[in-house]
Structure 1
Amino acid sequence: MKPFLIGLLAGLCLLSAGCGKEATPPPPAAFYSLHDTTGKEIVLTKKPEKIVLLSPAFLNIMHAAGGDFVAYGSSPSLDAPDYAKGKVNLGYSYQINMEKLIGEKPDLVIGLKGLHNPLASSLEANHILLVLLSISTKDEVAQAIEIMGDVSGHTEEGAKASKEFQKEIDALSQKVPDKGMTCAVIFGAAHAVMFAKEGTIATETAKILHFQNVFAKEGASEMHMMPFSMEDLMKKDPDILFLTTMVTPGQEKKVFEESLLNQPAWQELRAVKEGRVYFLPQNLFLSSPGIDYPKAIRCMAGQVYPEMRF
């Protein structure tokens, strides 16, 4: 064989990645990828067939986006909706039964940032993907709706639900007059009373309704709460006081009696004198109401402006 023919054949072999060998096909495209609230990149190689939701607030979000789930975390105050019946209850969101969770062999688990971060290592050891989301603000809920639509294969439905959700909230915000009113959100637990700063349902709802939280920028920037001080409250003397709790329903006032209601200084506050002290219901303000965020806005707005219809 002539030398130039030998060289030509050798070149063709190199171009075809080796004579007698098939070219390696490119890897399949990922079904979906995202960065969750922690900044971690999550890559789904295929559409998840078994999705688990660790917070009850995720249930109505996933349902609104057109998706489905096989198991969920509940709460003491949750009345499971019809679309959750027949699904596996993994226990309360703050005390997930890991054995039952892993036993479901899910393709994807969606949890709350902060609350469910400790579960990451166990899930990773069992080759289960975990996405952590925050849903305290309206923008976070809107994003969560789109993400759940995407991961469940209902992208268009999720995008539509997210748009309608934001439109409803914007309409409520525009309906309420901006009078420059100030507020404080006081959170009561069994053994502590604190000021809420930013990033809670109550403070974010107040922001939507144009109420300025006087403790929003106080204290350590990364904390959502700060210690309560009657002296600080008297100095700020806001127009409105919102009280939120995580105690047994019906026991809300008892949490505040010693630290607030029975103190002489309490009666001197402008909000108390003018009757602008409001207890916020746990079902809307203790944890995120998810797709029902507009209900929380209507509730707060209706308390401050009872003469208006929401």
Structure 2
Amino acid sequence: MRKVFSFIFSVLMVCLCISGCSPLTGNSGSGSAVKITDDNQRIVTLKKVPERIVVLSPSFLELVEAVDGKVVGRAKTQVGKVPAFAKDAAEVGFIFNINVEKIVELKPDLVIAYKGMHERYLHTLESNNIPVVVLNLKSYEDVKHSMLTIGKIMRKDDKAQKVVANLDKDIDATVSKLPKHERSVAILHTTSMGITMEKETSIAGCCAKMLKLNNVVQGETKP
């Protein structure tokens, strides 16, 4: 069971819905403008394919890499490995304490922010003519939606859709091999502030639900 959990989480992070984007069919022209409705329901117009991207959460790195994006700035991380394509990107502070001045110095043509965490930086960044797209990553559906949104931004719709399709395929194949007998799970989230138990609204809780595990916080998880 531990191997199954490791697989699910690695797939989510590496291949990393609110219907913020219009249906994706084919690739947009690289020189055409696109309008993105982000997860804060803000309409962001991007006149060209971004060439200098700053991500305010490490969780977005793999999603940007999957559609050939160029990251020039990223939040620091204390856990996990930074993908090779982003190792040379400048650090712009930790995810909870972003250095806005450093972002402005990098002159990005797109910043990808995490919903519920980075809204306080929007005004300053946009006043410096830096477009910001706010995305959520709290569930499996959020991951897929964010992948499609970033694919649209990069005019790599087809590539993003293939990533999502392969992700669904891998998840389904893994779930089909799970033991049929019922299991229960408690998901603990630890920080310097204390310990909490996760519900299915978290990424870990979402994974537990997909694995047909009963989350003791919420009772039986329905198939």
Distance 1:53 1:64, change over 3 A: same
Is the CA contact (8 Å cut-off) linking 2:148 and 2:161 kept in structure 1? yes
> How far does residue 177 in structure 1 lie from its aligned partner after superposition?
3.3
> How far does residue 30 in structure 1 lie from its aligned partner after superposition?
5.8
Partner of 2:170: 168
What is the rounded CA distance, in whole Å, between the counterparts of 2:70 and 2:172 in structure 1?
Answer: 28
Instruction: Choose from 90, 107, 117 the match for 2:119.
Output: 117
Distance 1:165 1:99, change over 3 A: same
RMSD: 2.1
Instruction: Choose from 95, 98, 105 the match for 2:97.
Output: 95
What is the rounded CA distance, in whole Å, between the counterparts of 1:122 and 1:76 in structure 2?
Answer: 26
Q: Which has the higher contact order (CA 8 A, sep 6+)?
A: 2
Is the CA contact (8 Å cut-off) linking 1:109 and 1:128 kept in structure 2? yes
- 1:103-123 Cα distance to aligned partner (Å, 9 max, x none): 112121101111212111211
TM-score, L = length of structure 1: 0.56
1:11-160 mapped onto 2 (5 Å cutoff):
31-160=33-162
Is the CA contact (8 Å cut-off) linking 1:68 and 1:152 kept in structure 2? no
Is the CA contact (8 Å cut-off) linking 2:200 and 2:209 kept in structure 1? no
Q: Secondary structure at the match of 1:76?
A: coil
What is the rounded CA distance, in whole Å, between the counterparts of 1:191 and 1:94 in structure 2?
Answer: 14
Is the CA contact (8 Å cut-off) linking 1:67 and 1:153 kept in structure 2? no
Distance 1:153 1:79, change over 3 A: same
What is the rounded CA distance, in whole Å, between the counterparts of 1:146 and 1:166 in structure 2?
Answer: 13
What is the rounded CA distance, in whole Å, between the counterparts of 1:65 and 1:212 in structure 2?
Answer: 35
Larger Rg: 1
> How far does residue 128 in structure 1 lie from its aligned partner after superposition?
1.4
Partner of 2:19: none
Q: Secondary structure at the match of 2:187?
A: strand
Q: Secondary structure at the match of 2:71?
A: coil
TM-score, L = length of structure 2: 0.76
Q: Which amino acid aligns with 1:188?
A: T
What is the rounded CA distance, in whole Å, between the counterparts of 2:155 and 2:191 in structure 1?
Answer: 40
- 1:28-50 Cα distance to aligned partner (Å, 9 max, x none): x9621222111222222222222
Distance 1:178 1:130, change over 3 A: farther
- 1:174-225 Cα distance to aligned partner (Å, 9 max, x none): 2213434333323333342322223222211111100122323xxxxxxxxx
What is the rounded CA distance, in whole Å, between the counterparts of 1:55 and 1:111 in structure 2?
Answer: 7
Partner of 1:183: 185
Aligned length in residues: 190
What is the rounded CA distance, in whole Å, between the counterparts of 1:118 and 1:179 in structure 2?
Answer: 46
Q: Which amino acid aligns with 1:126?
A: N
Q: Which amino acid aligns with 1:153?
A: R
What is the rounded CA distance, in whole Å, between the counterparts of 1:69 and 1:190 in structure 2?
Answer: 30
Instruction: Choose from 193, 198, 201 the match for 2:200.
Output: 198
Q: Which amino acid aligns with 2:125?
A: L
- 1:52-111 Cα distance to aligned partner (Å, 9 max, x none): 111111111111222222211121124322211322221222222111101112121101
Is 1:213 the counterpart of 2:210? The answer is: no
Runs of 4+ aligned residues of structure 1 deviating over 4 Å after TM superposition are none
Unpaired runs of at least 5, structure 2: 1-30
Percent of aligned positions that are identical: 30
Partner of 1:300: none
Q: Secondary structure at the match of 1:188?
A: strand
